[in-house]
Chain A
Amino acid sequence: MSMYGLNEIRSGMKLIIDNDPCVVVDNEFVKPGKGQAFNRLRYRNLKTGRVIERTYKSGDSILAADVVEIDAQYLYRSDDEWHFMANETYEQYVVHEAEVQDAKQWLKEQCDCKLTLWNGTPILVVPPTFVTLKIVETDPGLKGDTSGGGGKPAKLESGAVVRVPLFVQEGESIKVDTRTGEYVSRAKE
């Protein structure tokens, strides 16, 4: 497995730090005129999403991580397994609860996702930025309400609960931004 010297590490590179795959956010060379050289590395742990800062001696090396992102379609769920298929190779991948994390509440069969693979194994699922999902449960709204006001909770077919305007009814489909979990608009099926 290849190693990168601290001086050649650039943002966007994938590394293994503390046994976890990480992506480099920023690498700053720090050296006092007379003192020892260090690199101040900021990186995101790809499993937890947390951004961490750590200081390395400039002469050190860090193991490169074999991490790739692929386009895949969500197929179906069976118990605690989520099944995906790579768009390009048709290869199927099984993803478990820990990796599907926040994505699972947005997954609808046949939707296009991004899978992050580490050594060929999925470690992260990113759902499409916008999804269209049907409301399976919400209180009936009051007649004449427009989109202003506080809204109400609505449960979607994928399991997520989002706040929607009062005029939106059970059985309708809506567009949601998965990054924020916010209602965008009503959608035509």
Chain B
Amino acid sequence: MSREQKNNWQPSASLSNLKLRSQVIDAIRSFFKARQVLEIDTPILCSNTVTDPFISSIPAHVAINQNNKLKTYYLQTSPEYAMKRLLAACPIPIFQITKSFRQGEIGHNHNPEFTMLEWYRPHYDHHQLMDEMDELLQSILCCQKAIRKTYADLFFDILQINPHQVELNHLKDCARKHHIHLANEVTDKDTWLDLLMSHCIEPKLLGDRPFFIYDFPASQAALARIKKGDPSVAMRFEVYAQGRELANGFYELQDAHEQRLRFETNLLKRNELGLDELPIDEYFLSALNTGLPDCSGVALGVDRLIMLVAESDNIQDILSFDFSRV
């Protein structure tokens, strides 16, 4: 055992933060139980996982028969697919608080194993779900009502660019003007938008009121519906508080065919980037085929919410044992 391990047997969180953690989780449960949202739990270990090129799953090798033949399963990066399968079978409001896992995500705001709150509301669009999110945050953070802004207005207000129409070179110039010096060539517009978001915009999303950002570029739709128009936008929202991303929600895509195309696009992108090949989750697509209710859903990083309550800027302060101690 190394000296570092000997000194690191102790928890990374203080007792007072562990108490805050317990209170926040209790408050979330009470909030949903009072609203008759059913608490469920879904498997963390599944034979499929997300195909997103920028979300990496942690594989686990599991014996599937008496001969110890091993098959690769994946620790889930969010409970989204399983929850939607439940919704397709029983269209009622559901929530869960679960551990999720993401490969390689270690930092002040990231831990490879983290706690996620995810909930779904049949017959809600993303604006109605934002209303509910607002009430949840006000009750837990004792904060003011959130500020809502479209992705386009946010970029225009802070950087004076139109994110839907801006050219790649203009994005690069804007980044350079804001002292973002990239070591590599990046030619993907969405990546530049993400860089501007994380380097220039996020740090400005401060104050007593959280920010709800909605109507993302259609190219960043993930599992959200797209609202046709000029420009077409993804019916997706993100929540920010004290300069930190807290949650991501969708007015959920119901179209199984469109969903399959998006998965295939992801797989092509993964291939381009030299990432592992992954199977497409056919259980999930079959559920969509049978019929996902008209619904919205959102996932919130519970650890980051607790960081806000504890006024901490390092995730290790509110985890019993952060990743360096496990």
Contact = CB atoms under 8 A, between A and B. Distances in A.
Interface of A: 7, 28-38, 40, 52-58, 60
A34 B184 contact: no
27 contacts: A7-B104, A7-B106, A29-B106, A29-B107, A29-B108, A29-B110, A31-B107, A31-B198, A32-B194, A32-B198, A32-B245, A33-B245, A34-B54, A34-B248, A35-B54, A35-B198, A37-B54, A37-B104, A38-B195, A38-B198, A52-B181, A53-B179, A53-B181, A55-B180, A57-B183, A57-B184, A58-B104
A55 B194 contact: no
A188 B195 CA distance: 59
Contact of B105 (A31, A34, A55, A56): A31
Contacts of A56: 182-184
Contacts of B108: 28-29
A13 to B, nearest CB: 16
Interface in B125-181: 179-181
Contacts of B110: 29, 31
Interface of B: 52, 54-55, 104-110, 179-184, 190-191, 194-195, 197-199, 220, 222, 238, 245, 248
A39 B210 CA distance: 25
Nearest to B197: A32
A53 B220 CA distance: 28
Contact of A34 (B107, B179, B182, B220): B220
Given A7-B104, A7-B106, A55-B199, A34 B183 contact: no
Contacts of B181: 52-55
A3 to B, nearest CB: 14
Contact of B190 (A28, A35, A38, A53): A35
A17 to B, nearest CB: 8
A33 B198 CA distance: 11
Given A29-B105, A37-B104, A54-B182, 11 more contacts: A29-B107, A29-B109, A31-B54, A31-B107, A31-B198, A35-B197, A52-B181, A55-B199, A56-B182, A57-B183, A58-B104
Nearest to A56: B183
